Each structure stands twice: as C-alpha cells, then as structure tokens.
Amino acid sequence: MEKRSLPLAADHAANLYAHVPSAWYVLGRSKEVRPGQVVTKRLAGKDVVLFRTQSGVLSAIDPYCAHMGAHLGHGGCVKGETIECPFHAFRFDVNGKCVATGYGTPPPPRAKNTTYELCERHGQILVWHGNAGEPSWFEVPEVDTTGWMEAAFEVAPLRGHPQETSENSVDMGHLPIVHGYADIEILRELRCEPGYLSVKYAMTRPYIPGFADLGRLYAEFFIHVYGLGYSRVEVWVPEVGLRSRHMVFATPVEREQLALHMGFQFEKYKTLDRLPRALRRIPMGLFHRALLHAGMASYVHDVKQDFHIWQNKRYVHPPQLAVGDGPVGAYRRWCKQFYPSVNGPAGADVGSGGVGGSDLSNDGGAAAE
Ligand code: FES
Ligand SMILES: [Fe+2]
C-alpha cells in the first residue's frame, strides 16, 4: 500500500485569501450613524470612520488625521458639516479636506484625509473597496420597500471569505444535504454580467426545519448577487401568498474574518384570506410582527446551517465538479473580475477611491484563477 507523508502546511487558500475582492461592502445600517454621530467600522483590515454631518451628509474617512495622526474615531466629533479631530481640533469636510485648524490659523494647504466612496441602499451603508485602488465600476440598486415590513437584521462573525459565502447561491448540490431542500428546479438559468449575477430556482422545504414529515412548502427564489459583498434573494411562496426578501452581506473585516449580515423582510399582507382559518383571526399588526420574528428565525437558522462548513473548509481550486453541483464553474469564472488580473485590475482602470491597496497579505497571485 502506498504511503505518503503528511503534506507540508502549504496554504492552498492563499491565493483567494490574499485578496479582498473589489466590491461594495456593508459597514452597518444607516440608522447607526445619525446626524452628528461618529462611528468606527472595520473593513479589509483597516479602520474606517463614518460620520454624518448635521445636515445629514454621510462620509467615510481614513481615521488617521492628516495633521499629526490622531484617530478621528477616538474622540473626534461632528461640527456642522465637518469632523473635528480630538488632538488639535483641525476640521475636515466630507471630502476629507482640512478646512480649519484649532488655532484659527489657515489650514495647511495639502492637509487632506482620504475618503472612501460610499452609498446608502436599503437602509445600509455600503463602502467601496477597490482591490487595486480603482473606483467603483458597478452599482447596487435601491430596493422599493413600499408596503413592506422594515427588515430585521443580525450580524454574525464568521471565519471565511466573501467569494466562499456567495458561492452558496449557485451551489445546488448542498441544498438538499445541508438545508433539507428538495425538488430543486431551475426556473431561469444563471446570468453573469459585469458586477452582477442572477439565477432563479424553485424548491420545497419542510414547514418546520428538521420535520419533513409534517409537510413541505414550495418556494421560488430569485437570487441577485451584486459583487461578492451584497446578495439579495426575492422569495415567493404562492401557497400562503408570501413575498419575502432575504439578504446576505459578507463584509471582510480581517483576513479570513467576515461580518456576515443576515436580513429578512416581507411584503405586508393586505388580507389574511389565503392563510389557514386559525391565523385569520389574529390582528394584522400582531400577525406581521410574529411573521417577521418567525421568518427571520427560520432564515437565520438556514444560513447558520452553512456555518460549520464555511468555518472549517479550505478553498479548493479547481474544484472536482460533478453533475448535480450547479453552475459553480461559471460562478468562479464570473468571480475573476473582482481581482487584479495580469493586465491590471479587471473591470476598470486604476484610479483613486475605495479602501484600496489594503489587501490582507503580501503574497501575490490572482485569486480564482
Ligand atoms: S492630529 Fe488631528 S488636529 Fe492634530
Ligand atoms: Fe447554504
């Protein structure tokens, strides 16, 4: 029998984990940073300071003051339309330009802190990370939530990489095995576009997780992946007339460390006529609150079924694929655009903007080759 020695501790994940993919990443909810507030968040191994001016303009700024390096997130405060440093009270506007000193003297002409591209979508603050410092080259669209319950959110720390968690969207093979889904049917084939991927499928799942004998519910899932940091799934459950929306935002905070934002919301019922008779007597407001609670719990339960896999797996490329896997190969090819290529960064020319140049390792090599 052939014997082999244990392999050296080569890190096969090095190529993937060496890079933070270019993407919009969720740093928190818009309501976490009200006018006048300063909040420090973590992205790609760096602190990012968010502040919202008194008039409501949000800015994401490099934390270290251009004057002498104090951290704006530790004692900095909003003054009108600027953030004021706690050390010598220099003030910086939303574009990072120093507009005043604490002494009433002219600000140093070149004093400027880097600011990062940001947008607010669906009540979330998204900051652009350009793998090679390039500006954003795709968008995350706004979502119409008219008539919907406000989303519930939970953030969980998780070892992993945004490409690995997003791969779940196309990994059909794991759906029955990890989640107990069945009768999986592709309703619309995978479409891969610059910065955006979509696929639609249907499946059945137990009414109550783990109790398939108690009946199954048919649901349709329309998956929208905007880069590797922002995934949204529009769900339709015809049997009970339920339209819901599931969100997963994978934010790389450190090497191999994600903040995984999970969110759930649904369109409010106008009538409960399609529901079992016993439920129709519940006051509408109470029913909606209970459904938000139950729907969120069920969704988080399903996502967390993946956690022990993600926490312990390594990135294997190329994967040894089989019929039944789903379009994993097409997904991996689509992912290449988010990493630097031999011709420079994919998707855009090198420019300024984004939390770029902050990748988490010095070992080179493009991911997802
Ligand atoms: S270090 Fe910020 S004002 Fe001096
Ligand atoms: Fe999964």
Last residue of one domain, picked from the residues 79, 96, 129: 129
The number of domains in the chain is 2
| Residue 348, H or E segment | none
Asked whether 331 and 223 are in contact (CB, 8 A), the reply is no
Flag whether pLDDT at 94 surpasses 80: yes
Q: Do 111 and 79 lie in a common domain?
A: yes
Q: Do 206 and 310 lie in a common domain?
A: yes
pLDDT at 365: 35
Asked whether 28 and 124 are in contact (CB, 8 A), the reply is yes
CA-nearest of 66, 64, 62, 37 to 51 is: 37
Which atom of ligand 1 is nearest the CA belonging to 65? Answer: 2
Tokens of 264: 């759930």
Phi, psi of 282 (to 5 degrees): -75, 135
Q: Do 296 and 261 lie in a common domain?
A: yes
* pLDDT per residue as tens digits for the range 173-211: 999 999 989 999 999 999 999 999 999 999 998 776 666
Q: Is the CB of 75 under 6 A from ligand 1?
A: no
Q: Is the CB of 111 under 6 A from ligand 1?
A: no
Least confident of 48-52, 281-285, 345-349: 345-349
Q: Do 213 and 299 lie in a common domain?
A: yes
CB atoms within 10 A of CB 196: 16
- Tell me, in angstroms, the distance from the centre of ligand 1 to residue 271's CA: 59
Q: Is the CB of 200 under 6 A from ligand 1?
A: no
Helix (H, G, I), strand (E, B) or coil at 240: helix
CATH of residue 254's domain is: 3.90.380.10
Q: Is the CB of 87 under 6 A from ligand 1?
A: yes
Q: How far apart are CA 93 and CA 83, in angstroms?
A: 7
Longest dimension (CA), the chain: 81
Helix (H, G, I), strand (E, B) or coil at 122: coil
Q: What is the 3-state secondary structure (H, E, C) of 243-279?
A: EEEEEEEEEEEECCEEEEEEEEEEECCCCCCCCCHHH
Instruction: Flag whether 262 is in a domain.
Output: yes
* pLDDT per residue as tens digits for the range 123-142: 999 999 998 889 999 999 99
Q: Whose CA is nearest to atom 3 of ligand 1?
A: 88
Q: Is the CB of 65 under 6 A from ligand 1?
A: yes
Instruction: Flag whether 43 is in a domain.
Output: yes
State percent of the chain over pLDDT 70: 86
Q: Pick the more confident residue, 347 or 279.
A: 279
Asked whether 146 and 166 are in contact (CB, 8 A), the reply is no
Asked whether 195 and 185 are in contact (CB, 8 A), the reply is no
Flag whether pLDDT at 313 surpasses 60: yes
pLDDT at 240: 87
pLDDT, mean of residues 78-94: 98
Q: How far apart are CA 132 and CA 19, in angstroms?
A: 10
CATH of residue 117's domain is: 2.102.10.10
5 pLDDT band, cuts 50/70/90, is low
Q: Do 176 and 303 lie in a common domain?
A: yes
Instruction: Flag whether 62 is in a domain.
Output: yes
pLDDT, mean of residues 52-61: 98
Flag whether pLDDT at 49 surpasses 50: yes
Domain that holds residue 53: 22-129
Q: Do 122 and 170 lie in a common domain?
A: no
Instruction: Flag whether 208 is in a domain.
Output: yes
State percent of the chain over pLDDT 90: 75
- Tell me, in angstroms, the distance from the centre of ligand 1 to residue 39's CA: 18
Looking at mean pLDDT, say which of 36-40, 203-207, 215-219 comes out highest: 36-40
| Pocket test residue of 64, 87, 112 for ligand 1, highest count of atoms within 8 A of CB | 87
| Pocket test residue of 85, 98, 112 for ligand 1, highest count of atoms within 8 A of CB | 85
pLDDT at 361: 42
Q: Do 120 and 157 lie in a common domain?
A: no
Q: Which residues in 6-57 belong to E strands, given as ranges?
A: 23-29, 38-43, 46-52
Instruction: Flag whether 341 is in a domain.
Output: no
Amino acid at 332: R
Ligand located closest to 89 CA: 1
